[in-house]
Structure 1
Amino acid sequence: MKIAETVTFGGGGLDRAEDLRRHPDQLAALSSVTLPLWRGKPLVNAARDGLAYVDSALFAGMGIPVLIGRQGDGVILARDVSALEVSGTEEGLGAFLDPSEQTHPDLPEGTAFAELRGLMTRLTPLDAEIAATAKGVLEWHRTHGFCANCGAPTEAGKAGWMRGCADCGRMHFPRTDPVVIMLITHGNSVLLGRSPAWPEGFFSCLAGFMEPGETIEAAVRREVWEETGVRVGPVRYLSSQPWPFPASLMLGAHGEAVTTDIQIDPEEIAEAIWVSREEMMEVMAGDHPRLLPARKGAIAHFLLENWLADRLD
């Protein structure tokens, strides 16, 4: 897909400065700014269309400084400041799409911590990649404080890109879980599904985690069959999207259905339907009486939008 990297969180061009992770003396000699995150929410500017950075000395006693990448002659770090006593709106705090914002008197005027899902389509590709990287690796640190091999506490190393176990010597690195997300078509129609936890009327592309020993193509066919009973023939890769909610890599694929009868697994999915191209245009425009479009910024919206525009090549 020629426009694959125009997906949200794709194609930012971040210089991740991997060489500096192995040379702490060189890293320490460079100037730096820090992107603080509070409960996974990055600090954003007053216009809410870009990230906001602070002096790296601020909040230096909190969390683990993680090298995100180079910026000019210096570097960008990220730090978890969830222990910070913040003020701000609390309604919706922790919700699936959290509209609340939090701030602190030491932060630059007008800035606030805000939910990345609500900001992602307003950020530049580079800012989006920086935010996704920071959110993903800091969440990994939060949930992987102990060795999976022996259970002993681990300590951060390599500028925040490794955790080492002093007891057994095992090194652990940030993980990403691969997920296939499928644009399944049959003629002029596309197959959509709705999770039991989603609002009524909200439909999206089918998706599921890949399993060990499985190709992308096999995972697409298996997940569609398990959830809807539809058999899929040819499958081709389209685009990928880092999805730091909490740590997935969405692998977008196009599959051609060879059957159309739907028999859902109610433990996997609440409902599945075939939607014609003409009806899907109404959905994406927000004019459909029953169906709601996939969330802007998510790869499902990207795939459906480009299917309608005949831009999958």
Structure 2
Amino acid sequence: MMSVAKLSLTVPPLLSRYHVDRADELRADETALDAAWATAKVLRIDPRGRFDLDGTDLAFARGHEVAPARPADAVLLGRVDGAIVFALRVEKFDGADLRMRGHLLSPVDSALLGQALGILNWHATAGFSPVDGAPTVPGKAGWVRATADGREEFPRTDGAMITLVHDGGDHILLGRQHQWPERLFSLFAGFVEPGESLEQCVARELHEEAGIEVDEITYVASQPWPFPRSLMLGFTARASRDAALDFRDGEIAEAQWFSRLQVRDALAAGDWSTDAPDAPLLLPNSISIARAIVEAWAAGPS
């Protein structure tokens, strides 16, 4: 097998393109937060992660339109162009979904939305202390939860690897999960387990999901992924095209080696969120780091 040069992304993944000023100095300043609420921008998100759009932009309400005073569960996202921005969980409504509409958003909006979904998803499962089951309440503008006796719990982020498997040449291995429609393929991914490095996670997951052994495991880039609150760490790894595939853990329905030309054609045809009935291969849209990694590989020399 040949070796290949380290893969570099031409642009960061969509959810990693803008760094929000999180205004952390305000998180413990209740007076400043209360004063900012009336004119602050509020991103409302329902329990399914749905949100409002104004065309292709996030639709924000002003604080005074949402509630006369700052709700205890409003989360401070930060400051954008001088405006304070909060996120707030609201009742179920018909709105857009990040997976299907997120690729239409600007880097600023996608960063705010990714942050909001991740922290609100943590709040949805952190109502009780994991130590003794005592109820917790939000504090510090939504960036901590505490029990009545003052024990604090902080937001959790789960590390997960996502890997482009190549043969050292012009082919990559892509997999399709059972719940995905036919022709929809992507990179292999899985969560890091206690006691293993990221590289060990890559090797283990590929052995479990596809039954293959890999080498030349190389880090590429990372991206927040708020489903529910993960950090995707992108890698490449090399495997032999002659290796027998064995879907050991049952997550993968099928996997195939695709040529660089096939991948380029698929990228040109559209993505999962578009209607491309004649395309033999569909790839994730730009909301996922998977597409950014595949695009970088496809742009390489044949």
How does the TM-score come out when normalised to structure 1? Answer: 0.83
Distance 1:283 1:266, change over 3 A: farther
Deviation, 1:142, is 1.5
Select 2:288's aligned residue among 284, 290, 298.
298
- Is residue 41–residue 135 contact of structure 1 (8 Å, CA) maintained in 2? no
Is 1:280 the counterpart of 2:260? The answer is no
Q: Counterparts of 2:232 and 2:80 in 1: how far apart (Å)?
A: 27
Are the aligned partners of 1:43 and 1:52 in contact in 2 as well (CA < 8 Å)? yes
Aligned residue in 2 for 1:82? 91
Shift of 1:260: 2.8
Contact 1:182 1:253 in 2 (8 A): yes
Partner of 1:67: 76
Q: 2:65 aligns with which of 39, 58, 62?
A: 58
Partners in 2 of 1:260 and 1:278 — Cα distance?
22
Deviates more, 1:122-131 or 1:28-37: 28-37
- In structure 2, C-alpha distance between the alignment counterparts of 1:22 and 1:289, rounded to whole Å: 52
| C-alpha distance after superposition, 1:129-181 (max 9, x if no partner) | 001111111121122111111111101001001100114x4211111111100
Alpha-carbon distance in 1 for matches of 2:265, 2:74: 46
Please name the residue that 1:261 is paired with.
244
Corresponding residue for 1:310? 300
Q: 1:309 corresponds to which letter in structure 2?
A: A
* 1:1-313 mapped onto 2 (5 Å cutoff): 3=9, 6-30=12-36, 31-39=39-47, 40-45=49-54, 47=55, 49-60=56-67, 64-82=73-91, 86=93, 102=94, 113-167=95-149, 169-186=150-167, 187-258=169-240, 260-265=243-248, 267-286=250-269, 290-310=280-300
SS in 2 for 1:211: coil
The code of the aligned residue for 1:41 comes to R
Q: Check conservation: 1:4, 1:239, Cα contact below 8 A.
A: no
Q: What SS is found at the alignment partner of 1:120? A: helix
Whether the aligned pair in 2 keeps the contact of 1:63 and 1:81 (CA below 8 Å) is no
Deviation, structure 1 residue 71: 2.6
User: What SS does the aligned partner of 2:281 have?
Assistant: coil
**Matches of 1:305 and 1:145 in 2, distance apart?**
40
Amino acid across the alignment from 1:292: L
**Is contact 2:44–2:88 with CA below 8 Å preserved after alignment?**
yes
Q: Deviations over 1:68-118 (max 9, x none)?
A: 0013444101111126xx5xxxxxxxxxxxxxxx3xxxxxxxxxx321222
Report % sequence identity. 38
How far has the Cα of 1:266 moved from its partner? 5.6
CA change 1:294–1:53 in 2 (3 A) is closer
Question: 2: distance between equivalents of 1:23 and 1:4?
Answer: 40
Paired with 2:117 and 2:209, the residues of 1 have a C-alpha distance of 30
Q: Structure 1's 157 and 4: CA in aligned 2 closer, same or farther, altered over 3 A?
A: farther
Cα deviation for residue 38 of structure 1 reads 2.1
Farther-moved stretch of structure 1 (1-10 vs 201-210) = 1-10
Please state how far the C-alpha of 1:301 moved relative to its aligned partner: 1.3
Q: CA deviation at 1:53?
A: 1.4
Q: Which amino acid aligns with 1:172?
A: E
- For 1:5 and 1:247, how far apart are their aligned partners in 2? 23
Contact 1:9–1:132 (CA<8 Å) still a contact in 2?
A: yes
If asked which structure has higher relative contact order (CA below 8 Å, sep 6+), I would say: 2
- TM-superposed CA distance for 1:242, in Å, is 0.9
For 2:247, the aligned partner's letter is I
RMSD: 2.2
Whether the 8 Å contact between 2:14 and 2:286 is mirrored in structure 1 is no
Checking the alignment, whether the CA contact within 8 Å between 2:103 and 2:285 is kept in structure 1 is no
Q: Do the aligned partners of residues 54 and 289 (structure 1) sit closer, same or farther apart at CA in structure 2, a change above 3 Å counting? A: closer
- Counterpart-to-counterpart distance in 2, 1:219 and 1:266: 15
Q: Return the alpha-carbon distance in structure 1 between the equivalents of residues 124 and 73 of structure 2.
A: 10
Q: Give the total of aligned pairs.
A: 281
**Aligned CA distance change for structure 1 residues 170 and 271 (closer, same or farther; 3 Å):** same
TM score, norm. by length of structure 2: 0.86
1:43 deviates by 2.2
Give unpaired runs (5+ residues) of structure 2: 1-6, 270-275
Give the AA of the match of 1:220: V
* Contact 2:186 2:284 (8 Å CA) reproduced: yes
